[in-house]
Structures are given as C-alpha cells and as structure tokens.
Structure 1
C-alpha cells in the first residue's frame, strides 16, 4: 500500500516523498518494466517495426533503434517510471560497452525479472534462487563462449547489414572502410542529410579522452560537442589554473568567431567553471579535454596532436599569458564523453613526415616489447585517415532513422571485431536454453528453469514480430540442431528474410559475442538486485 514516509520530522518531507513497502513495490516496478519492454521489443529482429518519437520540443523522429526508444521512454506514473529506469540503466550499460544489444537485453531482463518475482511470491527461498541463477549463468556463458569465432571482412559486412536493418549501402560503406583502414578505423557520420550515401577519407586523429563537463555539449541529439569551421586548438603540458593566462586566447576566439578546443594535462575546478560560465555567457563554442590521470603517455598524445595541428605545447605559469601564436588549427573536432576525433589538422606536412620517420626509427631500434607496441600504434594512428560517412535522406525525419541504423552498424562491427561473433537471430540464446534444460533434467533447480525460459524470449519476440508460429518454429529449430555437440560452431535457425531454415554464420546471420554475453550477465545481475527490493521511496513533486 502507499503510505507517507514517517521517519522524518521535516513537515515538508512528508508532502514531497511517498514510500511503498512490501512485495507490492516490486509488482509496481514490474508494471513499468513490462511497459518499456513492450515498446522496445516491437523493434526487435528484421521484421520489427519502427517507433515514432515526439520530444518536449515537438521534434518528431522515426526510429527502429532500441536504445533510442528506451532513452525516450517515459511513464507518467513515478513508480512505473522507476521500474523502466532500471531497464534503461542495464540496457545503456550493454550499449555503452558493446554498442548494440539494447533490445535483446530489455526483453531478456524483463522476462527474467518477471519469472524471478513470481517464483519468490510462490514461496521459494530468494537466497537459494540467487545461488542457482548464478550457477546457471556460469553454465550458459561457458557454453556460449565455446562457439565464439573471430570476425573476418565478410562478417563485418554481415554484422553491419543486420544491425542497420538490411541497409545495403551502409553495409558496403563499412566493408570498404574496414578493408582500406583496417580494424582500428575511426569513423564519423555527418550530421545532416546528403544527396547520396557516400564515404570520404581525410586526415585525422582520435584519442580516448572526452569532454571534461557535459556543459560543453552543443549537439544534444548525439550528446557530443561538435566544433567546425576553422577551429583553434590549445595544448598544455601543465595544469591550467588561471583565466588570466587564457585571456588573449579567449578574446582572439571571440573576435574571430572561431571555436576553441583545449587539451590539457590538468585543469583546476575553479578555472573549468569559469570557462563554462564564459561559454554560456558569450555563446563561444569551446570544449576542454583533460587527459586522464591514468594515462602515462600524455606527452606523446600532445606531441602527436601538435604535429598534426601546428599547435605549440605550452607550459604556462599562473601569471603568464598564453600567446595566440601557440594556437594550432583544425577543420573539425567531434568530442564525446570518452573520445575526441580531430579532423584535417593544419600542421606542416613535411614536419609530420619527418616526425613519423623519427618514430619509425625509434621503433626499429627499441628492444622493449611494450614500447614497440605503443610506437607501432602511434605511427598507425598518425598515418591513418578518418572515414566520414554521408547518409542519403529526403528529410530530417528520415535522416534521424537512417542515422540510428548507421550508428548501430558501426558499434556492432566494432564489438564483433573486438569480441568475435556468434550465431545470431536469437538462436544462440535459444540453444543455450536447451543445453541448460538438458543439464537441469535431473537437478530440477528452479533458478536454472527461470534463466532457461528467459533465454528463449528474444527469438520468441522476433518470431512474434514476423507473425510466425512460435512453438512450431522452435520445435523445428530444436530438431534440426540435434545433437547440439555436433554443430561445430554453427547452428541452424530461421532466416527472417525468406523464412527458410539455414546455418546462421554461413548465411551471415550473426551477433557480436559481447552483445550476447553481456545481455545475460547484466540481466542476471539486475534480477538478483531486484529480488532484494522490499520497498521504495519516490518524489511526489
């Protein structure tokens, strides 16, 4: 039942907060979990449907991207919305790590939590269930790991095709990019519709460091900071502490109306706040990147960017004014929470060539293996191009939907290259559930049964979205894959394009391994946490 929180003397507290106690708290949360799952699951699989979004500013967007649907989902009931937020959190975690898998994680977690809660209400011991679920999860992940294969160039095309919802041009472009630039390719997508799908290659450089504050975001759709035109760049190898040292640089950027990118070894909190205030007050496009404390190669990063942009690395004292002569130039910078891509730096090409030659010479003469690896990576990054993708679209609404598909494809390909591939189409999870059922025949452990049933949910959802008979299809897949041990790394499933039964990997129906494994791990972890909930407090404001 709903009751006011009564353990506070503050009179205003009781008016602002409401508590919910007992099993009903989990049930109300589950209603929100089912609501977001129903919305997201409609996009799952090749026959999944789109969702039309309309935000607070009345921006309309059509998308089949699960993570976009999840992020925009909202329930007016605060408790149900809290339940939806639980799913959003783990789905985002999987997406942030693996770049894909939001929809699979959502439907898997929803089913698992629902079954878990039902089992507890039936009187089963929650501690024993947690133990059994952990055991079952270990069995399943070990089973799945045995079927992981290394991704080749053909797999890159197929992963892109599936993740982009069969957009052949996007898949061909990504195949071309990775064929020409290798598996460490840096890819950006232009933020506006083009007359045709295309890819161009330009000089660029990428680092694994992002903006120091979300206040620097100016592209709220993509949660990133875009700096373009003729961009000034400042590099500092010591801590920036005083606005006085940056006066000349800021005034120059304001006067010339040029964006400013600052990459520094460190910056004081006080100065960072001052820069943010100046950005908001003067409408200056500025972004500050602080190199991570754990990065032992800060000077190497600064030196590389210095050569590419023509910037002079400064070591300012608090009273010294940094001259505008130390600024470098670049055409464009894209800064996210965790990365920065610098495009078309204005550095001297001859100096860049000499710099690379010096690094190559050092590579030949060093005997330290770790130094060799680092030098080899630096040289490759300095030589490589940045791939820029143009996407054809008739209008902004269509562009947003195609952009999501391209972004999904890029992220899925990156994950597949890193972690390997598995049979897709929900088949790998389904075969893992059958394997778990076989083990559980004589054990009869409830935790095993719960996970097994949940693992079947993704393929059941895809079949439902394709208007196919679920039980009949699964029985056929089960029959065609017997015995499991003889399948030698591939399983037979259904090709939703023509409803034929085929070998999944041989026919390019594949999933990145990390997406599959992370969806299980995150869902099981959430289920264990969810089972311990016996109350919640939420704001009534």
Structure 2
C-alpha cells in the first residue's frame, strides 16, 4: 500500500517538474526588476562580456538586456515587450504581477487543485479585476496641468524638469492628436549629450545637411519629400553594355536634368530623401542654394510630411507637370542646421502642429536613461488621456483585491482557489513598493486594508518616506488606467500559458502509455 502511494506521489512530482522549472525561471526574471519598483526603487547595473555597463531603473531595459535562455522566461520578456510597445510603461508591474500570480497558482496546484480548475478561477479573477478597475477610473476632462504633471512625474521617476517638458508638449500637441492611436507621443522625445532641456515647436530630424556648402538656414521653406533615391532611373550593368541600354541611360539622365530644372522653377529650397542622392543633383543644389538631407528614416519622413503638409512622392513623380507637382510641396517658416546638435530643425510647418521634446544630459550614460524616463512619462500621459487614471502606489489594486475576496467567499467549488490567487497577487505591487522603501509589507498592508474599509476609499496607500498612511489621489500619486488593465491581462495570459504547458506534457505522457 505504502509502495503504491509513493509511486503515485513520484508520478505527480514528475508531472509538476516542468511547471516548477518554468515558475522558477519566471520568479528569477521578476526578482531582477522588482527592486526597481516605486519611488524608493533602486537601479540595476547590467554588465556585458566586453565590460560595457548600463545602469537603469527601467524594467523593460533590464528585461531586454538580460541574458535569458529559459523558454518560459523568454515568454515573460515577450509579454513585457508587448506592454512596452502598446502602452509604453508598466512593464515592471506586469512582470511582478505575472510572477506572483503564477507562484500562487502553482501553490494551489501543489495542494492538489486540478489545473483546469485553477485556470478557470484565474480567468474569472482577472476578468473581475479588470471590470472592478474600470469602475475606479477617473476620466480625463481636459489637459489641466495638475494631474497631467503628476502622472508625468510618477512615470518619470520624480524628474521635475522632465515632467514640465512633457506637460507643455502635451498642450502643444493637443488632446485630439494624443487620442489618435496612430500617434506615439513618446516618439517625439530626443536626448542629446550636452544639450539643454527644450520644447521645440516643430521637428528635429536626426540628420545634418548633406554638404557643408549648402545653406545652413532657409526661411519660407518649400520642400519636396522623396520616398526613394534622388537620382536618374537605374539600368542594370548588363543592359548598359548594349546600344539600346546605353541610349536609355542617356535618356534617363536627360529626364533627371529636366526634373532638376523643375525643382528650380518651383522655388523648392529643401529636398528630403529616404535613400541616396546623385552627385549631379548634389552639385545642382549647392549651386542653387538648396538644402538637401539624405537617408532619413521612414519615421522622420512621415513626421516631416505631416508637419509641413507635403505629400511623399517617388523620384518618378517629378516627371509630372509643374502645376500638378505644386500639390506635393510642403511648407515651413524656417529650417536650419543646429550646429551644436548637428541635426536639422524644422520650425512652423503648415501641416499638423508637432512638438519635439529635447531632453538634456551631461554624459553619454545618462542620456539613454534620461530618454527612457521621458519616454515613460510621455507614454503614461498619453495612456491617461486615452483611458483615465486611478490612484497609484498599489492602492487601487488593494481595493480591487478586497472586492475579489468578497466574491471568493461566495464562490463554491474549486474555481475559488484561482480567485484567491488573483486577490492575493493584487496586493503584491503595494507590498513590493513598501518593501523597497524599507518597511514591513505585512504590517503596512494590514493598516491599508483597515483604513480603506473604514474610509471607503480606494486611494489610501503608504507614504514611502514616513511609512504612514496617505491618500494617493490627494497627493497626486496617479497611474494611467490603461497601464494597469494591460498589466493585468498580460499577467493572466502568461499564467495560463505556463499552467497549460504543464498540462500538455501530461497529456502526451498519457498517450505514450496507451
């Protein structure tokens, strides 16, 4: 009898090996970023084999640069990246929630709860958590400075100067543009070593002019944006060796010369090109005082066209008649090369207003971190404008945790264990913030629970300086709702995926035995 129970115990252990291995890998990833959470979070130093060092407090940067071989860990990093790409912030929260939720779910499995039941409970718990979260959202009426500033400040890790820049830029860009899902506010941020903080009403193109003899500054700009190379149509070498091919080559060259004359007739004084530029065109533009910029990124091309009202065209587009070509031109008040930055600035385009946020830093190492901080702040502000905001510091998660616990008490059947895991995992963000600030999470979370119930508030959390209770909303500690919703979804998805991996292994084993 005893031998039989040992054997069945051994089988269960084998079946859980994959699950435990995956869970440990995910815990290891989470432990690399959890120390960075909250205002008292510390930085992580990443070192590569050549000794290059990156010091950062940014979850997604740590995850991106970590050396990871375990498939489950890679999966978690993928989820964090999708959070970064879609929302732009909240990767640390998503990672910590995923790890905690999985650990709690695995504890239930170890206690004998069947995996399908745990998954059902988890899915229900995450669905309820998102539903409750949406009930706690404060909508955004206008770009009133106070709350935007606070969201930028929290996401920008208390960098006051960065928060101010972001707020001013948000006002300049306007609510309509920020609500546009195609527009990424974070893409308007550039950081340069040795530059000052500056909000530029316009664009900074990440290139300098092609030739030092071209004008350094142009007013009343008329520009052409060319999507490919600015050179005659090409003929391959083989064809060039034939008589017909050679005469075609001469014909294309002649057409290109005529097109350069059109450039002069239209009064174009700036040409921006995605690829390279023919030497004949370069010489022509130097002679005629036209500025040229080559090898611009697709992103810069798009922004330039939008801001100046230009329509992008292929080089063959220049074969069109003069009148038709006029509709392709873009206009701006001023274009000049910033000699210090060695970048071209475009000011006062007649298309859509745009802002570029220049973040200054004293050294190369700090530049990258300052840029990351500003991008997080911009993403959070945009997410809040799109989805509203909730009290930060883990307070709203604590409130939701209580609501899920209440439902758990009324739930019969084993799904309740999955609900319990979600309710407990939701207390993790505050626990981690409190721990990083040097206080006892058990004691502090208990105080918060009692205070939230007594005052019927979802905003009470812990002041990380004093360890005392504090109203997060009144003190301006706010988070975009979208960041939280996405982090919850991500945690639920990764948890379910890892739990299912274990199930699939077990099914295959059963088939083999058959």
Name 2:282's counterpart in structure 1: none
TM-score (norm 1): 0.65
Q: Tell me, yes or no, if the aligned pair for 2:225 and 2:312 is still in contact at 8 Å.
A: no
**Partner SS for 1:192:** strand
Name 2:202's counterpart in structure 1: 202
* Structure with a larger share of its residues in strand: 1
In structure 2, C-alpha distance between the alignment counterparts of 1:435 and 1:312, rounded to whole Å? 54
Q: Tell me, yes or no, if the aligned pair for 2:434 and 2:462 is still in contact at 8 Å.
A: no
Q: Give CA deviations for 1:130-183 in whole Å, capped at 9, x if unaligned.
A: 222222222221111111012343111001111111111111122222234423
Q: 2:356 is matched with which residue: 383, 387, 390? A: 387
Q: Tell me, yes or no, if the aligned pair for 1:198 and 1:389 is still in contact at 8 Å.
A: yes
Change (3 A) 1:51 1:307: closer
Name 2:512's counterpart in structure 1: none
TM-superposed CA distance for 1:424, in Å, is 0.5
Q: Tell me, yes or no, if the aligned pair for 2:202 and 2:348 is still in contact at 8 Å.
A: no
In structure 1, C-alpha distance between the alignment counterparts of 2:382 and 2:42, rounded to whole Å? 25
TM-score (norm 2): 0.69
Give ranges in structure 1 of 5+ residues lacking alignment: 1-20, 205-224, 237-241, 253-257, 263-283, 292-300, 333-341, 353-381, 537-541
Name 1:285's counterpart in structure 2: 295
Name 1:216's counterpart in structure 2: none
Q: Give CA deviations for 1:356-398 in whole Å, capped at 9, x if unaligned.
A: xxxxxxxxxxxxxxxxxxxxxxxxxx2523233232x221112
Name 2:427's counterpart in structure 1: 456
Q: Tell me, yes or no, if the aligned pair for 1:235 and 1:311 is still in contact at 8 Å.
A: no
Change (3 A) 1:22 1:226: farther
Q: Give CA deviations for 1:405-443 in whole Å, capped at 9, x if unaligned.
A: 111111111111111100100111121112111221242
Asked if 1:53 corresponds to 2:46, the answer is yes
In structure 2, C-alpha distance between the alignment counterparts of 1:175 and 1:471, rounded to whole Å? 37
TM-superposed CA distance for 1:462, in Å, is 0.9
Name 1:65's counterpart in structure 2: 58
Q: How does 1:319-468 map to 2 (within 5 A)?
A: 344=346, 352=350, 382-391=351-360, 393-443=361-411, 445-468=416-439
Asked if 1:84 corresponds to 2:73, the answer is yes
In structure 2, C-alpha distance between the alignment counterparts of 1:83 and 1:506, rounded to whole Å? 40
In structure 2, C-alpha distance between the alignment counterparts of 1:67 and 1:455, rounded to whole Å? 21
TM-superposed CA distance for 1:23, in Å, is 2.8
Q: How does 1:467-482 map to 2 (within 5 A)?
A: 467-482=438-453
Q: How does 1:309-324 map to 2 (within 5 A)?
A: 313=313, 316=316
Change (3 A) 1:416 1:57: farther
Name 1:35's counterpart in structure 2: 28
Q: Give CA deviations for 1:445-472 in whole Å, capped at 9, x if unaligned.
A: 1011111111111111111111101111
Q: Give CA deviations for 1:100-134 in whole Å, capped at 9, x if unaligned.
A: 11011101100111222232233222222222222
Change (3 A) 1:397 1:453: same
* Structure with a larger share of its residues in helix: 2
Q: Tell me, yes or no, if the aligned pair for 2:191 and 2:370 is still in contact at 8 Å.
A: no
Q: Tell me, yes or no, if the aligned pair for 1:62 and 1:400 is still in contact at 8 Å.
A: no
Change (3 A) 1:57 1:511: same
In structure 2, C-alpha distance between the alignment counterparts of 1:460 and 1:110, rounded to whole Å? 14
Name 1:94's counterpart in structure 2: 83
Q: Give CA deviations for 1:505-534 in whole Å, capped at 9, x if unaligned.
A: 121111100111111111112211111113
Change (3 A) 1:179 1:346: closer
Name 1:169's counterpart in structure 2: 161
In structure 2, C-alpha distance between the alignment counterparts of 1:462 and 1:496, rounded to whole Å? 8
Change (3 A) 1:328 1:462: same
Q: Tell me, yes or no, if the aligned pair for 2:162 and 2:359 is still in contact at 8 Å.
A: no
Name 2:226's counterpart in structure 1: 234
In structure 2, C-alpha distance between the alignment counterparts of 1:96 and 1:402, rounded to whole Å? 19
Q: Tell me, yes or no, if the aligned pair for 1:423 and 1:511 is still in contact at 8 Å.
A: yes
Change (3 A) 1:515 1:121: same
In structure 1, C-alpha distance between the alignment counterparts of 2:330 and 2:227, rounded to whole Å? 8
In structure 1, C-alpha distance between the alignment counterparts of 2:103 and 2:126, rounded to whole Å? 17
In structure 1, C-alpha distance between the alignment counterparts of 2:441 and 2:307, rounded to whole Å? 60
**Partner SS for 2:54:** strand
Change (3 A) 1:178 1:23: same
Q: How does 1:173-252 map to 2 (within 5 A)?
A: 173-183=165-175, 184=177, 188-202=188-202, 226-229=206-209, 233-235=225-227
**Partner SS for 1:132:** helix
Asked if 1:261 corresponds to 2:282, the answer is no
Aligned Cα RMSD in Å? 4.0
Change (3 A) 1:95 1:171: same
**Partner SS for 2:37:** coil
TM-superposed CA distance for 1:483, in Å, is 4.9
Q: Tell me, yes or no, if the aligned pair for 2:459 and 2:472 is still in contact at 8 Å.
A: yes
In structure 1, C-alpha distance between the alignment counterparts of 2:89 and 2:22, rounded to whole Å? 25
Q: Tell me, yes or no, if the aligned pair for 2:37 and 2:436 is still in contact at 8 Å.
A: yes
Q: Tell me, yes or no, if the aligned pair for 1:173 and 1:198 is still in contact at 8 Å.
A: yes
Q: Tell me, yes or no, if the aligned pair for 1:31 and 1:83 is still in contact at 8 Å.
A: no
In structure 1, C-alpha distance between the alignment counterparts of 2:31 and 2:20, rounded to whole Å? 16
Between the two proteins, the alignment pairs up a number of residues equal to 405
**Partner SS for 1:533:** helix
